[in-house]
Amino acid sequence: MIQPKLIYSLLIFLLLCNSGCRREVQDERYRTWAHYNGDKTGSKYSALDQINRENVRELRLAWKFETEPLEEAGYSTIECNPLIIEDVIYLVSPSVAVIAVNARDGSERWRYEVDPGRRSRGVNRGLAYWAEGDSVRIFFSKGNFLYCLDAGDGQLISTFGQQGMINLKDGLNREADNRNKSTTPGVIFKDLYILGSTVGEGPGPAAPGYIRAFNVRTGALVWTFHTIPLPEEPGHETWPQDAWREAGGANSWGGINLDAEREVIYCGTGSAAYDHWGGDRIGQNLYANCILALDANTGERIWHFQAVHHDIWDYDLPCAPNLVQVKRNGTLIDAVAQPTKMGHLFILNRDTGQPVFPVEEVEVPESDIPGEESWPTQPMPPVSLRYARQGFYEEDITDLNEEATRFVKDQIDHMKMGDLFRPPSRDSALIMPQFNGGTDWGGGAYDPIHRKLYVNASNEAEWISMFEAPREKSIGQYDLGSQIYRTQCTFCHGSEGQSQQIRNAFTLESLKAIAAQRSNDELQLVLAGGRGLMPSFSWLSEAEKEAVIAFLKEKGQDEIIDREKVSVNFASKIPWLSTGHHPIKDPEGFPINKRPWGTLSRIDMDSGIIDWQVALGTYPELEARGYEPTGTFNLGGPMVTAGGLVFIAATMDERFRAFDQETGEMLWEYQMDAGGYATPATFEIDGQQYVIIAAGGGGIPGTKPGNAYYCFTL
């Protein structure tokens, strides 16, 4: 007779073995980094555990790869999450050259440049890899084009599209502006490359942000999902009748994740254009600001969930939702978890789109801008799933020191404050989180073993105001240039007197200094073709480009232009314009709100509660004064590993860090030469685990540019 104690021991043994086998099978999917963000679900999770919480302090630099001469990088950035296929790393440079690198030592194997010798710049967050038999391909985007390379030698695949490329402007249902590109890679499903786009969001003409699937062999367009529905398509009734002819935006610019078993893709979409006035798009505006589930084979909508109705704040859904599991009442539910710019986490059933945790439609303030009809309610997840600061109030004013507090109170005395969904108005109003988040394109990292989501966020206030577009029959050349600058350029370069208030290396003052040293022809070329992170403004007429140049050179005050000859007559279509997104700082240049100014959080999927939240990043000058980590604005995502670690760079102090998954304690940091505004990756070769991060600096945070990838090992 078998003793009960022995039976109990055998049962425990079998359960442990079974559990271990299940985990090992599951982990096999996470031992490579062959896809953007690790795998096709975008988990940013690795089952590698050689580097762990016990030995991470021994992590050292194995090699550093400089992509191109730093002096040629200019004001640029690298946001690339590289791919690692066997012993080759595929990555991009600040000029968006695609480079294959030896994973063992960082030596270059091959390089492909779209325009060799031309100092063109851009943003590319990653690549896509496809293999079948002897055919191995790398897909990447630059400008308006999608390119297909042979992964073995870096040469264009001539049978794809037109000699290896396709124009992403082709196949839309109308002519639009010059900006229709894809900064974030799509996802490959069977023989389809499914891709979103980045389009214009200003008051000028904007392309619709359709989601499309292309054949990986030929480049042929296979299907299109109209994020701005055409007549007779579901959702068309949420727009004015003819809006589909001209409305733009509603684009999936933050990536696409795939459930291969369900054959369903999941993505988030951005706001409709124009960002801050929607009087010409009265309605709910589906499928802008939506979490979408689409049939990967056909592009047909399965479900949608709109996170912001009739967006007039630029609260895009900046990344694809993580594919997660939630255990409720003893049952595992397949779900998606969507981080947002608002710092809201929406957790939805993967099959139905229904909230797993209750979402309430909350009444929000009404717009006072003539012609605008803001939506009366906005969806809000439970308080426990709001992981960034919500709105700006008196009690949020900085307490860094007494001088800063007094200065900020005086500075914002005339400004409105309150709810994060306070509509933009004539009055200068503070808003928090700022327009770059909360969470931006870096998104969250998901541990599928413990069902934990790790997400970083920025907590800084900005201000915004609206003004009525001039309706005069004529306008001075200088004034026209000023108007175009205010509506198109202040978000990146700020306005007069803002040089200490914005992150960008090129303030308005520095742009004027550059313009004074350049000929009008040279400046015309920059406006027409774009430069660095600046998009092309080829849709402006020659007279309008000349007006911008006149404004920068402080000329043209007496030259009068007939408005009928100016296509950029905003008042005819967009009568109310934003003055831009304006960062605001204390006397020393620090954020005006209380700390932490950046955070890293762990959120438990089962309970829907934040386990811990720590400051992410610091200001070295405050660190030297004895301040605890303050957090900083951050851009780029985390990576989580089976070694019990969360790796993340992202911060303005230009450091790369590892945190303990269980406690949030920082275990290791490394000072790089430039900011790591990207998401790290990890890989194993010859039995050794490595961690790699791009340090391109520059970009939206506006710190000094960089040109390198840093690779670490024990």
Residue 451: name the closest of 318, 343, 333 by CA.
Answer: 333
Lowest average pLDDT, out of 281-295, 318-332, 464-478, goes to 464-478
- CA distances to 284, 308, 418, 426 from 364, rounded to whole Å, are 15, 12, 11, 18
By the 10 Å C-beta count (0-12 exposed, 13-18 middle, 19+ buried), 191 is classed as middle
Confidence at residue 19, expressed as pLDDT on a 0 to 100 scale: 39
284 φ/ψ angles, rounded to the nearest 5 degrees:
-75, -30
Whether 80 has a pLDDT exceeding 80, the answer reads yes
The tens digit of pLDDT for each residue in 62-78 reads: 999 999 998 765 568 99
The tens digit of pLDDT for each residue in 450-463 reads: 999 999 999 999 99
Confidence at residue 175, expressed as pLDDT on a 0 to 100 scale: 60
Confidence at residue 505, expressed as pLDDT on a 0 to 100 scale: 57
Please, which pLDDT band fits residue 500 given cuts at 50, 70 and 90? Answer: very low
In this structure, what DSSP letter does residue 144 have?
T
Whether 400 has a pLDDT exceeding 80, the answer reads yes
Higher-pLDDT residue of 505, 613? 613
Whether 444 contacts 513, CB under 8 Å: no
Whether 606 contacts 15, CB under 8 Å: no
Confidence at residue 20, expressed as pLDDT on a 0 to 100 scale: 41
Whether 6 has a pLDDT exceeding 80, the answer reads no
Confidence at residue 567, expressed as pLDDT on a 0 to 100 scale: 63
Residue 13 tokens, joined: 């043994």
pLDDT above 90 as % of the chain: 73
Please, which pLDDT band fits residue 176 given cuts at 50, 70 and 90? Answer: low
Higher-pLDDT residue of 336, 525? 336
Whether 172 has a pLDDT exceeding 90, the answer reads no
Whether 215 has a pLDDT exceeding 90, the answer reads yes
The tens digit of pLDDT for each residue in 642-655 reads: 999 999 999 999 99
Please, which pLDDT band fits residue 596 given cuts at 50, 70 and 90? Answer: very high
Please, which pLDDT band fits residue 116 given cuts at 50, 70 and 90? Answer: confident
Number of CB atoms found within 10 A of residue 355's CB:
18
Residue 642 tokens, joined: 């089976």
Rounded to an integer, what distance in angstroms lies between the CA atom of residue 3 and that of residue 1?
A: 6
Confidence at residue 8, expressed as pLDDT on a 0 to 100 scale: 42
The tens digit of pLDDT for each residue in 515-563 reads: 888 888 888 888 876 765 566 676 677 888 888 999 998 888 888 887 7
Mean pLDDT of 254-264: 98
Confidence at residue 569, expressed as pLDDT on a 0 to 100 scale: 57
Confidence at residue 16, expressed as pLDDT on a 0 to 100 scale: 38
Confidence at residue 489, expressed as pLDDT on a 0 to 100 scale: 79
Confidence at residue 24, expressed as pLDDT on a 0 to 100 scale: 42
Residue type for position 52:
N
The full set of domains in the chain, from first to last, is 135-360 (2.140.10.10), 470-573 (1.10.760.10)
Higher-pLDDT residue of 468, 137? 137
Whether 684 has a pLDDT exceeding 60, the answer reads yes
The tens digit of pLDDT for each residue in 401-421 reads: 999 999 999 999 999 999 999
Whether 152 has a pLDDT exceeding 90, the answer reads yes
Lowest average pLDDT, out of 147-151, 379-383, 582-586, goes to 582-586
Q: What angle do CA 196, 198, 204 make, to 5 degrees?
A: 135
Residue 380: name the closest of 354, 346, 417 by CA.
Answer: 346
Confidence at residue 504, expressed as pLDDT on a 0 to 100 scale: 54
Whether 670 has a pLDDT exceeding 80, the answer reads yes
Rounded to an integer, what distance in angstroms lies between the CA atom of residue 141 and that of residue 126?
A: 9
Mean pLDDT of 565-574: 67
Residues across the chain: 714
Confidence at residue 499, expressed as pLDDT on a 0 to 100 scale: 46
What's the whole-model pTM score? 0.90
Report the sign of the C-alpha dihedral through residues 159, 162, 164, 165, in that order.
Answer: negative
pLDDT above 70 as % of the chain: 89
Q: What angle do CA 446, 452, 455 make, to 5 degrees?
A: 60
Whether 7 has a pLDDT exceeding 50, the answer reads no
The tens digit of pLDDT for each residue in 10-66 reads: 444 433 344 343 344 345 678 899 999 999 999 999 999 999 999 999 999 999 999
686 φ/ψ angles, rounded to the nearest 5 degrees:
55, 35
